[in-house]
A and B are shown apart, each in its own frame.
Chain A
Amino acid sequence: MRKPASPAANAVVFINARLIDPASGRDEPGGLLVRDGVIADLGPHLRRNAPDGVTVVDCRNHVLCPGLIDARVFTGEPGQEHRETLKTASNAAAAGGVTTIVVMPDTTPVIDQVALVDFIQRRARDNAAVNVHVMAAMTRELKGEEMTEIGLLQRAGAVAFTDGQSTISNARTMRQVLNYAKDFGALIVHHTEDVHLTGTGVMNSGEVSTRLGLPGVHKFAETIVIERDVRLVEMTGGRYHAANITCVESLETIRTAKAKGLPVTCGVSINHLTLNENDIGPYRTFLKLRPPLRSESDRMAMVEGLTAGDIDIVVSCHNPQDVDVKRRPFAEAADGAIGLETLLAAALRLFHADQIGLLPLLRAMTINPAKLLGLPGGKLEIGAPADLIVVDLGQPWVVDKARLRSRSKNSPFDESKMQGRVLRTLVAGETVYQYDDDAR
């Protein structure tokens, strides 16, 4: 989706790197040669020996790994550019070490037609610093009634189909979508929420919601839909992905489906991996999310599910909202949190806390989403696109929302201490972000 890389002459070798490739399990000192926007060579033999005539970048023993692929990003383009554009989202992504973003169809208008997929791709090509792919709507206007032109949308470049933040509540419609999508091998990504059970609920149902006097949402509002969907997958054979699971019961349902050999996968947002309902504290609306933050035991279950590989991918669920819709009483505030720029740093919290290893953590943000969506990146392999990041795992920093690149500042991690910083981000061999240049 981007400008073609600059000519061959600009070969660059990264030496003194700790090469980490979750796809192959590689974690060793070495170097990596980039030429023509792709990985031309890599391995221990390049650790200190740069080939002649190429630019040398010394990684100073920091991590060199594939750039992250974020499969769930909401922007405001088109229609709500005051929240976020493809350009601002991609700048945030680049600074966060995310080299590919997959944008959701919840825009104005909804991305439910070929021309709109084309629009996003062209806007991204002209403005975005990272790769942008489109997930198109699976039903027209996200209404959950009539299915979209899944075949034609796929041909136009849609990498998967979703109704974004909406759930198809009609089982028959969902069945038809899965059944039809199967013929194209198209992936159906579903936000799983029984809206009737949710009712007026605005946060996880439990002691915290009761004390705050806020209407709660029981976590089974999510699990019930996943259970239904798994049965529909069993009926149809369609490829299904639960967009953002948040509780242990949903995880068990997915695990059981996988054990049966059904084409079922799931994702979890970085928020549900690293935060819980208690973080809402005194009505912090930046932590008002959909699905809502759950209990600590559910959060731990998500981390364990990720470690075990039952959860396939980690997403930012980046959802920019401006101050006007957030600075309201909790129940009236908009849902969502930005997360592109803090995705890796927040994820590394789990690594630093010894809750998960580096390889399984990165796998869920690189090769796994690449495989799920059929994207070329996410791995260190000769011939793969040079979408790479250099990361200092140890560098401490404090999130300052004023310095985040997103157009909206609704970060749940504002003022949080982080450990681990992206030093450089490359997309197709070109540096799109460098920490040293970040002299603001």
Chain B
Amino acid sequence: MTSSTPSAIFARRHLLTCEGLTAGEITALLDIADKAADQNRQVRKKRDVLQGRTLINLFFEASTRTQSSFELAGKRLGADVMNMNVATSSVAKGETLIDTAMTLNAMRPDILVVRHHAAGAVELLAQKVDCSVINAGDGAHQHPTQALLDALTIRRAKGRIAGLTVAICGDVLHSRVARSNIDVLNTMGARVRIIAPSTLLPAAADRLGGEVFTDMAKGLEDCDIVMMLRLQRERMSGSFVPSTREYYHFFGLDHEKLARAKPDALIMHPGPMNRGVEIASTIADHARSVIREQVEMGVAVRMAVLEALSRQLRND
């Protein structure tokens, strides 16, 4: 689990999923990210690792923070960054995906950062292009850089990941963040708890590598980390949970529930938050909330991923 030469350890062409990443690979990325995080706090933030390289942000689904985080990461490493926001028309989405991939491929980018509303779409696209592809979120499948930035945030705050108890709470059913985090945390030796009402638990949730709770207070007992998930508005009015009020009552993170976790438990949220729905406003701004650090580490982790992937790029 110790870090050695990172480039020798993370030697993949794409970053599409956290499933199958080794502890060595994750550690390697976090080590590079640690340095990038320090660099980002300097006045001179820019390096030239990606000089001459082209990074294209291809977002089929709206995103503010992930896209700007990747944009900044690319620019700080000296890459030329282009943002493409592909409006999702309701027709022929698949055609758009493949066609756009082929078109972009012809422009010879070095790295494509892709977000898509359909699970597996980024993998499909990666099969069609010659460059490196980073999954910036595909449907309810995976969001690898989010899990890595969460791991980095935890490691910097707690000094380790192994042995910690991490509760992931909320809409696990639709959450790619949860899936990626469950993979990374398990690989890194953390104990994972999954907390959600049964209507927001995926099938066979107990097979994912975490203990499942439908009672949040019980699930938070003695946790080191409380990781909240976003609940989308359209799922709050009867189809998955009866109302915002009821959801907040049973699954919103308030002081009473938080008191069940360890006194030094960290509070995390991938954002954007629904204050008063899944998290009390005062908790979001709590001294133990590392939600802003997560955003900061997001840039660092994305720089690390870009740097690691760039070492696999062709130089001829």
A residues engaging B (CB < 8 A)? 205-207, 209-216, 218, 282-283, 324-325, 327-333
Contact = CB atoms under 8 A, between A and B. Distances in A.
Contacts of B94: 324-325, 327-329, 332-333
A283 B119 contact: yes
B93 A209 contact: no
Contacts of B139: 213-214, 329, 331
B118 A332 contact: yes
A58 to B, nearest CB: 48
The 6 closest A-B pairs by CB, nearest first: A328-B94, A213-B141, A329-B118, A283-B120, A213-B140, A213-B119
B140 to A, nearest CB: 4
A213 B95 contact: no
A213 B142 contact: yes
Contacts of A206: 203-204
Contact of A283 (B19, B97, B123, B204): B123
A324 B96 CA distance: 11
Contacts of A212: 119-120, 141
Interface string B173-185: 0001001000000
A329 B179 contact: no
Contact of A327 (B98, B141, B204, B207): B98
Contacts of B204: 206-207, 210
Interface in B193-211: 202-205, 207-208
A232 B202 CA distance: 34
Interface of B: 19, 93-95, 97-98, 116, 118-121, 123-124, 138-142, 176, 179, 202-205, 207-208
B119 A329 contact: yes
A333 B124 CA distance: 12
A328 B127 CA distance: 12
A212 B203 CA distance: 11
A331 B119 CA distance: 7
Contacts of A331: 118-120, 139
A324 B92 CA distance: 10
Contact of B205 (A210, A214, A333): A210
A324 B118 CA distance: 17
Given A210-B208, A327-B124, 7 more contacts: A206-B203, A211-B19, A212-B120, A214-B120, A282-B123, A331-B118, A333-B94
9 contacts: A207-B204, A212-B119, A218-B203, A324-B95, A328-B93, A328-B95, A328-B98, A329-B118, A329-B121
Contacts of A282: 120, 123
Nearest to B120: A283
A209 B120 contact: no
A324 B19 CA distance: 29
The winner among A207, A211, A329, A331 for most chain B CB atoms within 10 A is: A329
B124 A283 contact: yes
A205 B208 contact: no
Nearest to B201: A210
Contacts of B95: 324, 328
A207 B202 CA distance: 8
B90 to A, nearest CB: 11
Given A329-B93, A329-B97, A332-B94, A213 B121 contact: no
The winner among B98, B118, B120, B142 for most chain A CB atoms within 10 A is: B120
B116 A329 contact: yes
Contacts of B118: 328-332
Nearest to A214: B119
Contacts of B124: 283, 327-329
A249 B120 CA distance: 31
A329 B115 CA distance: 13
B93 A213 contact: no
Nearest to B95: A324
